[in-house]
């Protein structure tokens, strides 16, 4: 499904590895969720936790990467949070499909400067008002966690077991972290992360804190896997982001109560991108990835297949770059062509040029801009043969204006070496189902 069998995974880009996932059961039957909840958007300095920034970090030493300037858009990125009960204490945690660890900030934590060179006031990390004192079922003396994000943010501390509840579903004795040392660019509301990734992508270590060598890494069962193994839900979750990143819904083991259509539906394999920006495995980022069959823009259809990360933490769609001359095989298994008969792709540039008036690439932003009253083309993302149309209003950001030119940012950018990214520009037009049990993603149109 979705062309995943055609993907060459043998030669990943430097800093990016890849793994197929194994289906544990047949795909679930999508039905209304009994348990669902709203997700709360936060805009601000959070691009460092997005797939785009992780790719920027991983490819920072590769000439010609399209991610160098993603930090210029930091203030215009959005991340989402949900309310959880941590041992009966309410907390807001960032909802993250790009990581696997669930952790919160411990009372009396230490806020450090970047690189940990000195201690700062707790307020400098801008965590929310609620902290966790301890684990209900005690600390594991042999394990700790340590994570580092593309922005340089860090968190680490002991692992132990607590009860974690979302939307009335309680996962008993979940192994989770309490960060006692952090460098963070917070929002004064959230107090940690709820990771929804796979067990192999957790960040637990048996060695002493500060020594996170690969040999010390130990997998454990993360939150969503525990929900499944404890028989609490069907093995999938579904996400719907509302237009303008104003809110959203997540359904646990079912579809949240949002409008959707069967006019376009797609079923495609889940592939995992593991993005590493440092030799230490503590610097891992892992994302749900699919094969996209192509794009339609206006009357033009491009059916070259590429790998795309599905990421709620990235705002734009990052597409194959405007130009590449050379042997495609030199770009590795990430950068491949379905047609196998060319050495040039112009998808990002071609779509930008199809705006009226046409868009222009502004290097200082790492994105395309066009007159704010430009007419956007009809754009469809093609997955498993189905077309998912992007609402034209999602393609021009009228609140992000380049002062010298007076132009507005477009919802697309160049994606360098790949993998490429389907951010909220795409996701707010679909209902996305992450069927972990079947190793499958499903999409339903919301047009």
Residue 61 has pLDDT above 60, yes or no: no
Share of residues in the chain with pLDDT > 70 (%): 82
User: How distant is the alpha carbon of residue 204 from its chain centre?
Assistant: 20
Residue 438 has pLDDT above 70, yes or no: yes
- Could you tell me which residue, 277 or 126, shows the higher pLDDT? 126
List phi, psi (to 5°) of 237: -130, 155
* CB 253, CB 236: distance < 8 Å: yes
Query: Element (H or E) spanning 427, and its range?
Result: helix 424-427
The pLDDT tens digits of the residues spanning 180-191 come to 999 998 889 999
The pLDDT tens digits of the residues spanning 134-168 come to 999 999 999 999 988 767 788 999 999 999 999 99
Per the prediction, the chain carries an average pLDDT of: 84
Kindly write down the DSSP assignment for every residue of 349-370, as one continuous string.
HHHHHTSBSPPEEETTTTEEEE
* CB 348, CB 324: distance < 8 Å: no
Kindly write down the DSSP assignment for every residue of 135-152, as one continuous string.
-TT-EEEEEEEEEE-TTS
Q: Say how many residues make up the chain.
A: 447
- Note if 101 is an active site residue: no
- Note if 96 is an active site residue: yes
The single residue of 53, 96, 269, 384 carrying the catalytic annotation is 96
Rounded CA gap, 125 and 184, in Å? 5
pLDDT of residue 127: 95
The single residue of 269, 311, 384, 435 carrying the catalytic annotation is 311
Pairing, β 430-435 against β 440-445: antiparallel
pLDDT of residue 322: 53
* CB 144, CB 158: distance < 8 Å: yes
Q: How confident is the model at residue 335 (pLDDT cuts 50, 70, 90)?
A: very low
pLDDT of residue 342: 40
Q: How far is CA 76 from CA 58, 99, 187, in A?
A: 22, 21, 14
Q: How confident is the model at residue 4 (pLDDT cuts 50, 70, 90)?
A: low
CA atoms within 13 A on the CB side of 89: 17
Structural domains of the chain in order of their starting residue, each with its CATH number: 35-252 (2.40.70.10), 261-445 (2.40.70.10)
Residue 73 has pLDDT above 70, yes or no: no
Query: Element (H or E) spanning 250, and its range?
Result: strand 248-252
The pLDDT tens digits of the residues spanning 88-125 come to 999 999 988 878 899 999 999 999 998 788 999 999 99
pLDDT of residue 360: 94
Q: How confident is the model at residue 243 (pLDDT cuts 50, 70, 90)?
A: confident
Residue 356 has pLDDT above 60, yes or no: yes
The pLDDT tens digits of the residues spanning 377-417 come to 999 999 999 999 999 988 998 888 899 999 999 999 888 77
Most confident among 50-54, 169-173, 309-313, 345-349 (mean pLDDT): 169-173
Does residue 321 sit in helix, strand or coil?
A: coil
0.85 surpassed by pTM: yes
Token pair of 73, please? 């858009």
Pinpoint the alpha helices (H) of 15-68.
Answer: 51-58
């Amino acid at each position: 499904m979705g062309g995943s069998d055609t993907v060459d995974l043998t030669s990943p880009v430097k800093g990016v590895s890849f793994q197929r996932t194994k289906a544990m059961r047949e795909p679930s039957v999508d039905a209304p969720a009994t348990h669902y909840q709203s997700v709360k958007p936060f805009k601000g300095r959070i691009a460092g936790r997005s797939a785009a920034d992780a790719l920027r970090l991983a490819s920072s030493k590769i000439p010609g990467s399209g991610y160098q300037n993603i930090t210029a858009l930091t203030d215009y990125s959005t991340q989402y949070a949900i309310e959880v009960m941590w041992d009966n204490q309410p907390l807001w945690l960032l909802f993250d499909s790009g990581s696997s660890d669930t952790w919160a900030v411990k009372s009396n934590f230490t806020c450090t400067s970047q690189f940990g060179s000195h201690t700062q006031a707790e307020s400098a990390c801008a965590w929310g008002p609620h902290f966790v004192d301890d684990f209900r079922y005690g600390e594991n003396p042999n394990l700790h966690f340590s994570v580092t994000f593309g922005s340089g943010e860090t968190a680490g501390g002991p692992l132990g077991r607590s009860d974690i509840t979302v939307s009335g579903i309680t996962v008993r004795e979940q192994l989770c972290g309490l960060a006692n040392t952090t460098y963070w660019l917070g929002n004064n509301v959230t107090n940690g992360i709820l990771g929804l990734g796979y067990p192999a992508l957790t960040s637990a270590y048996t060695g002493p804190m500060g020594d996170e060598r690969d040999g010390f890494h130990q997998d454990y069962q993360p939150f969503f896997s525990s929900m499944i193994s404890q028989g609490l839900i069907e093995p999938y979750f579904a996400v719907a982001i509302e237009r303008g990143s104003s809110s959203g819904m997540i359904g646990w083991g079912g579809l949240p109560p949002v409008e959707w259509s069967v006019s376009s539906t797609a079923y495609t394999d889940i592939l995992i991108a593991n993005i590493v920006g440092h030799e230490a495995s503590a610097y891992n980022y892992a994302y749900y990835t699919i094969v996209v069959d192509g794009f339609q823009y206006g009357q033009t259809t491009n059916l070259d297949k590429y790998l795309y990360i599905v990421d709620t933490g990235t705002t734009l769609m990052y597409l194959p770059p405007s130009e590449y001359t050379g042997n495609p095989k030199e770009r590795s298994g990430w950068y491949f062509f379905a047609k196998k008969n060319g050495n040039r792709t112009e998808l990002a540039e071609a779509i930008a040029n199809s705006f009226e008036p046409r868009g222009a690439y502004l290097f200082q932003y790492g994105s395309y801009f066009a007159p704010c009253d430009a007419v956007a083309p009809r754009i469809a993302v093609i997955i498993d043969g189905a077309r998912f149309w992007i609402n034209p209003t999602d393609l021009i950001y009228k609140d992000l204006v380049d002062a010298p030119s007076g132009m507005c940012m477009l919802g697309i950018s160049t994606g360098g070496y790949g993998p490429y990214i389907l951010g909220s520009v795409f996701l707010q037009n679909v209902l996305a189902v992450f069927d972990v049990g079947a190793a499958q993603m499903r999409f339903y149109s919301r047009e």
